[in-house]
Amino acid sequence: MATTPRFQIAGSILSGDLLDLAGAIRLCEKAGADLLQLDICDGHFVPTISFGEEVVKRTCQATKLPVEVHLMVSRPQDWLSRMRGMGHFRTIFHLEASQRAMGMVQAIVADGLKPGVAINPETPAVALEPLLPYIDNVCIMGIAPGFAGQTMLEYTFTKIADVKALIRKTGSSATITVDGGVKSANAKRLVDAGADILVVSSGIYQHATPEKSLVELRGMVG
């Protein structure tokens, strides 16, 4: 009988060569990522501008890996129709960017997608409690969002435990993703704290041998 993996790794191409996105996708695949995360950055909610729906569509066509979209945008509701039919399986939006978070969750479900909610470092875990029974995933930002390569905030480990406790309290089946600052050196602590999915970006592309980066990370977790 196959065993359930202890955790999954989402490869983010945000730190890859943006002039060779196909190559960046291939590197994630060769490294052994379980899924791809595409960060949509609007230059407003976060200072970075990344890419839009066409890249999501082409990525979903170019890879056999599951693809999720992380909307780091100031008006996520405006992006739902733009993202419809692109081929991804999950849409994550930021709690801080939505005045009607439950409406966003319902709209994502109505599109046949799995809803996820991301929270920035300054947002307390308890802010998620009303949404937890209705969402598929919580994405905890370990850094100020928008720039890859930052060092993870130490508070992230406590926050994972806080979210995990709320998930149990509400009877939610939501998984926990940690995004930002994930490295081989802290991966075990993150998984031990309760993380189900680790988003890795610069940890792949800035590694001396990117194809071996995730094997090394998995080995550190054990």
Whether residue 184 contacts residue 212, with contact meaning beta carbons closer than 8 Å, is answered with: no
Q: Is 179 a catalytic residue?
A: yes
Catalytic residue among 39, 42, 162, 196: 39
Tokens of 109: 């479900």
Q: Measured between alpha carbons, how far is 39 from 134 in angstroms, rounded to an integer?
A: 23
Catalytic residue among 20, 179, 192, 196: 179
Q: Measured between alpha carbons, how far is 118 from 73 in angstroms, rounded to an integer?
A: 11
Whether residue 115 contacts residue 138, with contact meaning beta carbons closer than 8 Å, is answered with: no
Cα distance from N-terminal residue to C-terminal residue, the chain = 20
Q: Is 20 a catalytic residue?
A: no
Instruction: Give the gyration radius of the chain's Cα atoms.
Output: 16
Please give the positions annotated as active site: 39, 179
